[in-house]
Every structure is written in structure tokens, then in C-alpha cells.
Amino acid sequence: EVQLVESGGGLIQPGGSLRLSCAASGFTVSSNYMSWVRQAPGKGLEWVSVIYSGGSTYYADSVKGRFTISRDNSKNTLYLQMNSLRAEDTAVYYCARLRLRHAFDIWGQGTMVTVSS
């Protein structure tokens, strides 16, 4: 079964760091475009970052310089390293696979990140 399972969310103080993980099953992370999308409480979806199969990475302006997307091919896992966290980064973070010409076709269940003192 094709599946994505996120982990690593939690409560963190402003300025702190957190690493989210997204374990994939049923397909190979490194052969696909993979992305992180977030959703603040009661708000809409916001694209955060993408890593292409060739390794190129791109970020939304709101997280550029603070977040880093990466993958571990041996573990078939996607990561999001989040540094210098701010209150406005509070959200459910979803990992998603990109296929079908730039469509997010598979989503994880999401992991909640709360940035608060």
C-alpha cells in the first residue's frame, strides 16, 4: 500500500529547532518529487518546500533560509529541518508526493507543530 507517515511534531519555543520525518511505503522517495505543505489552525493550505528526484530543492519565501528539505534514500524517508521557528510557523505539516504533472497525489496524515513560549 502506498502510504506516507509523518512524525516529529510537538511544542517548541520560538527560536527553537525541530526536524519532521515522513516515512514512505509502497514507493521510492528518491524517484519522486516530494513536498511539504502546511496548514495553520483554521486556515488554508500553504506550500512549504519541494525536493525533486534529481535533488534540486525549492522553498516558499516564508521559510527560505530557515527550513531545509532532505531525504534519506536508505530509509526511504523525507525530512524537514526547521530552524529559527516563529509563532507563525504553527501548523499541521503534511508531506505529499508530487506526480501526475505537478499534482499532490498522496498525502500523509499530518503532524502538528506548535511554536509557543
Partner 1 sequence: QSALTQPPSASGSPGQSVTISCTGTSSDVGGYNYVSWYQQHPGKAPKLMIYEVSKRPSGVPDRFSGSKSGNTASLTVSGLQAEDEADYYCSSYAGSNNLGYVFGTGTKVTVL
Chain residues in the site for partner 1 (CB under 8 A): 35, 37, 44-47, 49-50, 58-61, 94, 100-105, 107-110
Q: How far is the CB of 13 from partner 1 (least distance, A)?
A: 27
Residue 13 vs 56, nearer CB to partner 1: 56
By beta-carbon proximity to partner 1, the closer residue of 36 and 79 is 36
CB of 116 to partner 1, least distance (A): 21
In the chain, how long is the greatest CA-to-CA distance?
Answer: 41
Name which of 31 and 101 has its Cβ closer to partner 1.
Answer: 101
Dist CA 93 CA 47 (whole Å)? 10
Residue 116: closest CA among 95, 99, 81, 91: 91
Closest CA to 30 of 60, 68, 64, 73: 73
